[in-house]
Structure 1
């Protein structure tokens, strides 16, 4: 495991300089999202600004269970959807409240389309790669401490440099880069969580890929002492500049998956070409209406 730290810097900036995201919501001002079940998993129907504000508010609030934020896409359904081996493995299970409060945000275009069919209203995609800019800008302005878990060794230095350049007053506490063996070892993961807690991280961006990041947050998230834990997958690669975002016209047509597949065919072909179609069939076959959050 490798840790890179940076001394905190005082001050803040106007969060309005961060991009507002590519997809705007149909309406703002909702205090609590409606929760539906799509493809066997919960999905919280949030407007863009409301999702950002809820994450911000939780990052500033002490004494509550940590908030875990999940991106729901077809890959998520493949692992956690109806009748999958990991179904109910984390989050709100039948009558069971764990250490983490979970917020399930729409990521993939098929999820957004199914939410529209289910509710009769259009809901925006709230991908982690779109949310992370406003979230970090607010953290910089509010003095919220930030840390990352994940990223290949060659990405760590680039991420640190990118954060210093884009968010010069961000109170950035470090990048933890555990090996796969460390993530599979309970004692090693517990030690990583203890290091993060000692560093005083308020907002932890967990980029370990599905399903590992959600399971790690569920098991060790509370021990990190973080108030908010973002299961944001490839965000670390986007921020570090290792992988480029899709052009707007590709993203707006729901084809960002094809862009990523073109860039990383070896790593992503099974996810999109093998797992994806089955998850899509599950999504269309087994979606339901609103449920209690």
Structure 2
């Protein structure tokens, strides 16, 4: 088994009772592209009642080569996150989006995320989802896309956002790329660029920062945080001083478990679960 296969098998280090027992509706096609069918899974809460509508959390995975992302929702990380959310009384939605091919197809990723959210909203009745109580949890390279889509299109009506160890600004990376990757394209998927006149309509926000992450990623997070403070916007910040990128699967520690537990409590609170 190669290193990539080993990583894809890793589950989050925090678990709750019976989370592996939740029911899952797998491989729902939410979008057809010229290249592939994009699919999602729906994780149902324990003791699911078909007569009820549940709040939902949509999980946005990171970027990478197309062959890895094709079935990334089936990786240990996203399966276990879906199980944890469902065992905590919420519906969890995991889905595959396309690769940006090293930022050359960024809009494909943004479009897929927006289409997945709209699919959940439009099919909420059939999926037993309360369409007015939907949150989004983005991780790693999924953060700039997921958070930007929500901040750009407020009609999606996402109640709360969770950002785990991901870029919250891409504009300062322009010098790393060719001329094909324009400043405007990076700005379109830089959450920092949307922090203008948003105070009264900003979704509840939870940011998890990995202290041992790449300095360029943490610089982007810090720039975003400084702007939030300048605008006097409420947000929850948790720094994992000894955390690596992907600490939820790599760092089995008290601090990791604390942050994941607090994330679930944040989602339950802002999505109306007692």
TM-score of the aligned structures, taking structure 2 as reference length? 0.34
Q: TM-score scaled by structure 1?
A: 0.33
